[in-house]
Amino acid sequence: MIKGIRKKIDGLDQKILKLLNERIKLAIKIGKIKSEKKESIFAPVREKEIVSNLLKRNMGPIPDEFLSDIFQEILNASRSIQKKIKISYFGPEATFTHLAAIEIFGRHAVYIPVKSIKDVFTEIEKDRANYGVVPIENSTEGVVNHTLDMFIESDLKITSEMFLEISHCLLSRENSIDRIKKIYSHPQAIAQTRNWIDKNLKSVKVVEVASTAEAARLAKKEQRTAAVSSIVASRLYGLKIIAKNIEDYKNNFTRFLVIGKKNPPPSGNDKTSIMFTVKDRVGVLHDMLIPFKKYKLNLTKIESRPTKKKAWEYIFFVDFVGHVDNKNVKKALLELEKHCSVLKILGSYPMGE
């Protein structure tokens, strides 16, 4: 019985292999055309459309989540065969930003770890990388100010976004939690696990470092230390997992942005990010929000940052649903611009899930 079923599976695997190679051949042709036209190999709108159409036709028994993962890997492989895309990210290896980049571009892209969020932007601006991946906000700790600040000066565009569930582990070369006297981690990771640390390691010294991966590296070198980091970091640095899922809030997600030099076309389910400055006066923020209400544009985020040029002068960052090519968006931005000292469109891109 099993032997007969396995024979059928083998036959289907051969057909799948043949079809995959046929698909790759077509993808290579598209890659050559894109190269001649100097178009981007990474097409988040098209990739999202492919997966979405397949999920609509999925009759099971394979769950949608599994099907999405399978075809995303196929898309990643197709893209990498067309051209090796270079991705800069806030490193080193095994940071959550690195994991997010792999989720977006696959394991076969060329990854360039850099020491700061500013360096991520620089690599793209100097054409040493095609795209960059940066964190923008966490569901429990809020916005990443360093990333917002970079958009003030840079002309790079947001081309895509993704949400990564963040799960922290306590890693160490020690065998027992009782032997831990010091913990290393990134400030955000420490903030996201503060209650757990206070409850389980109240008297332990907590030291902030540049990244969760750097924390793992230090914990590997030093006795009686631990790191708050990822499972991937435990494998990379050869550390034991002392405790899993130590984040204080289980619905802990970080939003990451893909940045590049061009805006993708509309997908039908898009988000636009803008920044603007205004002259201080009574009711100015209220007036700035009127065009969004008038043209029925749903705001998903609004943040403010000091301009650092004049005391009490602020830059506003706004995300809203819609693409810059949509009529209502164009009308709203035209009205908004009349009241702004500066208005800058940071990008229109497919909404992440």
From residue 63, alpha-carbon distances to 13, 60, 146 in Å are 19, 6, 38
Range of the domain at 72: 19-35+42-82
Q: Are residues 100 and 48 in the same domain?
A: no
The span from the CA of 121 to the CA of 278, in Å, is 26
Q: Are residues 203 and 156 in the same domain?
A: no
Pairing of strands 253-260, 314-321: unpaired
Taking only the tens of pLDDT, the chain with its 353 residues reads 888 899 999 999 999 999 999 999 999 999 899 888 888 888 888 998 999 999 999 998 999 999 999 999 999 999 999 988 999 998 888 888 999 999 999 989 999 999 899 999 999 999 999 999 999 998 877 788 889 889 988 999 999 999 998 899 999 999 999 999 999 999 989 999 999 999 999 889 999 998 899 999 999 999 999 999 999 899 989 999 999 999 998 888 999 999 999 888 898 899 999 999 887 667 777 888 899 999 999 999 998 887 766 665 778 899 999 999 999 999 999 999 888 888 999 999 999 87
Q: Are residues 238 and 174 in the same domain?
A: yes
Q: Are residues 196 and 150 in the same domain?
A: no
Of 340, 289, 345, 287, whose CA–CA distance to 314 is shortest? 340
User: CATH no. for residue 209?
Assistant: 3.40.190.10
Task: Please indicate, yes or no, if residue 8 is contained in any of the structural domains.
Answer: no
Beta strands in the chain (DSSP E): 86-90, 110-114, 131-138, 142-143, 157-165, 169-172, 182-185, 205-208, 225-229, 240-243, 253-260, 270-277, 299-306, 314-321, 342-350
